[in-house]
């Protein structure tokens, strides 16, 4: 079965071929023809089975680019999934003149309102923000022809049931609905029965994945240490060939160049390469002339090389389906494979989702130690000597060494050491020991002092916290978009139960706090103000926006303070 056999336009089939899609998955085979015929669909499918393309491709084929109105709405439970689906649909829609717009909480309304005003053929959003736009009148769904509920069980579990039902009830009765869910609880069945018309039930096998033979491990590593950790991994992991995944084209080029600078033969493969270059690199990988490939997700699609024993995720993918595709480059045809994931401290929250998608637990591993790296170097040195015994040039060099030893009265072992130095090219053979960890500060018997702000930063209090189900990224997104701030403007962010503390520069651009006055996150007004610290430890409040140290300035002359008797 090919994508052309499913009834898709030739232009869409060509786009899929350019993206590296080779053949449809079971959920795509079952869903695409039904959706092209106009039927409603209820699909039971796990993440990582290709369900995004299953609903996106028929949706794109049925849209009319000449009409400015919103014709399709995709509801997703989280901001991350909404962005992932939006990116996927955009990649499938290349050259079709179709505008796709993400709308989600935590982002300022400005860009979303502008996009809706220009006209978005497809809106991908979270239920809460979609309801906000409907209430504002900025989103018009009167001409909606397609509605997709992606990961419906997650949406209901997160408390979006009323929002989803309102959207379903308030849109045209003649719309086509596609509902996809990893599980089918009674509430999902009830929803489908009330709002879908004679839907086709599709259940696809979710357990069989190429990841079942892949051992998955993860390392927590700060971003600036990734290259050092990666080079240690390359020295201690025993395998054949490796693919290292980076998030961007530029990232692949920079990482491959950095590895070559450290003595590893690495090549980058991304969408900027012409076909002849790509074929040459893949051929070198297959033949063994190349062992390390640094790739983007798109460039690695369809890549099937038996020698690949390791996949390293240098950058964690935001798309769980992309993670499954990545690690599926190894462990092919029942062979064992190794997948290693680099995780920064802030990305640890994504591990559970990746485990759920891949169907296997991820084991935590430590950074290879200096002793482990040096032991491997000794082993490889010995192996290189053993291999050299079989070289056709061995006897030539042996006679030269014997002659040198006789003429200079030098022991053969000293000559061998000198040859080793020549081959090392003045590089240190052993890795230097890691610097000692900074000493831990002794606990004081005195009461614990609050940690002061970072240098040059001032703490601000915002009225959203854990009970509003937000994280640091939501705060950064909202303040950056509404206040015109950059990522470098943010210091530490501490999430409390009902409020959070965020560090911003001591000197903010004029008007920043005014622009943030009406900002909301998850529907909650953030009410940003300088933080005064915990009771009993509050520092004197700095003057701010026309206020003196004792409060607002009076518009009239000050009255002299009277002395108390």
Helices then strands (H, E): number in the chain?
Answer: 20, 22
Does 351 have pLDDT greater than 80? Answer: yes
Do residues 185 and 244 share a domain? no
Q: How far is residue 316's CA from residue 42's CA, in Å, rounded to a whole number?
A: 31
Whichever domain contains 285, its CATH number is 3.40.50.300
Do the beta carbons of residue 93 and residue 16 sit within 8 Å?
no
User: DSSP E strands: which ranges in 385-516?
Assistant: 457-462, 493-495, 500-505
Q: Are residues 177 and 30 in the same domain?
A: yes
pLDDT for residue 446 = 42
Average pLDDT of the chain?
Answer: 84
**Residue 102 per-residue DSSP state:** E
Closest-CA residue to 228 (of 406, 52, 404, 370): 370
Cβ atoms 311, 242 nearer than 8 A: yes
58-62, 273-277, 379-383, 560-564: the lowest-pLDDT one: 560-564
Query: Could you tell me if 11 and 89 lie in one domain?
Result: yes
287 shares its domain with 168: no
The predicted structure's pLDDT at residue 323: 84
pLDDT band, very low/low/confident/very high, at 204 (cuts 50, 70, 90): low
E-strand spans in 86-189? Answer: 100-103, 122-125, 146-149, 176-181
Whether residue 564 lies inside any domain: the answer is no
* d(C-alpha 242, C-alpha 253), whole Å: 16
Give yes or no for residue 219 having a pLDDT over 60: yes
| Residue % of the chain over a pLDDT of 90 | 43
CA neighbor of 327 nearest in space, from 208, 211, 209, 207? 211
* Residue 149 Cα to chain centre, angstroms: 22
Domain annotation covers residue 451: no
Nearest to 242 by CA among 269, 277, 273: 269
Instruction: Print the domain residue range for 480.
Output: 457-533
Instruction: Say if residue 222 is in the same domain as residue 304.
Output: yes
**What confidence score (pLDDT) does residue 212 get?**
65
Residue 555 has pLDDT above 70, yes or no: no
Which 8-state DSSP code applies to residue 350?
Answer: G
Q: Is residue 82 predicted with pLDDT exceeding 70? A: yes
Cα–Cα distance between 388 and 350 in angstroms, integer?
47
Q: Note the pLDDT of residue 447.
A: 42
Output the six-digit token pair for 532: 């005064």
Site of tokens 């028929």: 58
Question: Is 494 within the bounds of a domain?
Answer: yes
Alpha carbon 308 to its chain centroid, in Å, reads 23
Q: Looking at the structure, tell me whether residues 64 and 159 fall in a common domain.
A: yes
Which residue in 166, 123, 125, 116 sits closest to 145, CA to CA? 123
Least confident of 76-85, 308-317, 365-374: 76-85
**Is 356 in the same domain as 399?**
no
Residue 556 within a domain: no
pLDDT greater than 70 at residue 334 = no
Asked if residue 120 lies in contact with residue 130, where contact means CB atoms within 8 angstroms, the answer is no
The answer to whether residues 169 and 305 belong to one domain is no
Give the residue-averaged pLDDT of 125-154. Answer: 92
| Statement to judge: residues 320 and 241 lie in one domain | yes
How far is residue 548's CA from residue 5's CA, in Å, rounded to a whole number?
74
The pLDDT of residue 448: 44
User: What kind and span of H or E run contains 143?
Assistant: none
Answer yes or no: is 562 within a domain.
no
In this model, does residue 333 exceed pLDDT 60?
no
490 shares a domain with 391: no
Report which of residues 279 and 164 the model is more confident about.
164
Per residue in 6-33, pLDDT tens? 999 999 999 998 887 878 888 899 999 9
Report the alpha-carbon distance of residue 263 to residue 438 in Å, rounded.
31
Q: Which residues pair with 122 in a beta bridge?
A: 72, 100
**pLDDT 10s digits, 244-269:** 999 888 999 999 999 998 889 999 99
First to last CA, the chain: 97
What's the rounded Cα separation, in Å, for the pair 455 and 514? Answer: 24
Specify the pTM. 0.47
Q: How many domains does the chain have?
A: 4
Domain of 476: which CATH number? 3.30.70.330
| Beta strand spans in 17-165 (E) | 41-44, 72-75, 100-103, 122-125, 146-149
Q: Is the pLDDT of residue 522 over 60?
A: yes
Residue 448 belongs to a domain: no
Domain-located, residue 312: yes
Return the closest-CA partner of residue 537 out of 452, 480, 467: 452
Identify the pLDDT of residue 182: 77
Task: Say whether both 349 and 387 belong to one domain.
Answer: no
In a domain, 192, yes or no: yes
Task: Clarify whether residues 239 and 90 are in a common domain.
Answer: no
What pLDDT was estimated at residue 545?
44
Asked which of 247-251, 469-473, 514-518, 561-565 is least confident by mean pLDDT, the reply is 561-565
Query: Would you say how long the chain is, in residues?
Result: 565
Q: What tokens does 7 get?
A: 């009834």
Band of residue 58 on the pLDDT scale cut at 50, 70, 90: very high
> CA 339 to CA 398: how far, in whole Å?
43
């Amino acid at each position: 079965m090919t994508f052309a056999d499913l009834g898709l336009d030739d232009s869409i089939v060509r786009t899929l071929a350019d993206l590296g899609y080779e053949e449809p998955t079971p959920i795509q085979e079952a869903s695409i023809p039904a959706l092209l015929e106009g039927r409603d669909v209820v699909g039971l499918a796990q993440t990582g089975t290709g369900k995004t393309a299953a609903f996106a491709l028929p949706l794109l084929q049925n849209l009319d680019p000449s009409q400015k109105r919103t014709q399709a709405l995709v509801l997703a439970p989280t901001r991350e999934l909404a962005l992932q689906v939006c990116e996927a649909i955009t990649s499938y829609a290349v050259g079709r003149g179709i505008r796709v717009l993400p709308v989600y909480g935590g982002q300022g309304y400005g860009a979303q309102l502008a996009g809706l005003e220009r006209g978005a053929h497809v809106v991908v959003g979270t239920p809460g923000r979609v309801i906000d736009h409907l209430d504002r009148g900025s989103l018009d769904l009167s001409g909606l022809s397609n509605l997709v509920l992606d990961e419906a069980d997650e949406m209901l579990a997160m408390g979006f049931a009323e929002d989803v039902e309102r959207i379903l009830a308030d849109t045209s009765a003649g719309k086509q609905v596609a509902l996809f869910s990893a599980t089918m609880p009674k509430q999902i069945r009830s929803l489908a029965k009330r709002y879908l018309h004679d839907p086709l039930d599709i259940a696809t096998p979710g357990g069989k994945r190429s990841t079942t033979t892949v051992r998955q491990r993860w390392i927590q590593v700060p971003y600036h240490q990734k290259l050092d950790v990666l080079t240690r991994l390359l020295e201690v992991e025993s395998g054949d060939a490796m693919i290292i995944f980076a998030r961007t084209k530029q990232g692949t080029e920079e990482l491959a160049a950095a590895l070559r600078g450290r003595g590893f033969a690495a090549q980058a493969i991304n969408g900027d390469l012409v076909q002849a270059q790509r074929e040459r690199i893949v051929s070198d990988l297959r033949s063994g002339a190349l062992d390390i490939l640094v790739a983007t997700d798109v460039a690695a699609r369809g890549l099937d090389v038996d020698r690949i024993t390791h996949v390293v995720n240098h950058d964690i993918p935001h798309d769980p389906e992309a993670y499954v595709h990545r690690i599926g480059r190894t462990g092919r045809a029942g062979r064992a494979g190794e997948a290693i994931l680099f995780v920064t401290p802030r990305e640890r929250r994504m591990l559970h989702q990746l485990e759920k998608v891949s169907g296997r637990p991820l084991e935590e591993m430590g950074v290879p130690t200096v002793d482990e790296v040096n032991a491997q170097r000794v082993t490889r040195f010995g192996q290189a000597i053993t291999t050299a015994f079989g070289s056709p040039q061995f006897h030539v060099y042996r006679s030269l060494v014997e002659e040198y030893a006789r003429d200079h009265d030098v022991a053969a072992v000293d000559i061998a050491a000198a040859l080793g130095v020549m081959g090392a090219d003045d590089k240190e053979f052993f890795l230097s020991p890691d610097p000692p960890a900074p000493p831990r500060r002794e606990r004081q018997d005195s009461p614990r002092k609050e940690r002061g702000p970072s240098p040059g930063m001032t703490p601000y209090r915002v009225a959203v916290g854990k009970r509003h189900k937000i994280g640091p990224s939501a705060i950064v997104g909202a303040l950056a978009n509404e206040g015109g701030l950059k990522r470098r403007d943010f210091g530490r962010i501490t999430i409390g139960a009902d409020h959070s503390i965020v560090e911003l520069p001591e000197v903010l651009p004029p008007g920043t706090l005014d622009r943030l006055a009406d900002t909301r996150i998850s529907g909650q007004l953030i009410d940003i103000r300088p933080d005064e610290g915990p009771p009993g430890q509050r520092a004197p409040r700095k003057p701010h926006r026309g206020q003196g140290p004792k409060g607002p300035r009076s518009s009239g002359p000050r009255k002299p303070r009277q002395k108390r008797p």
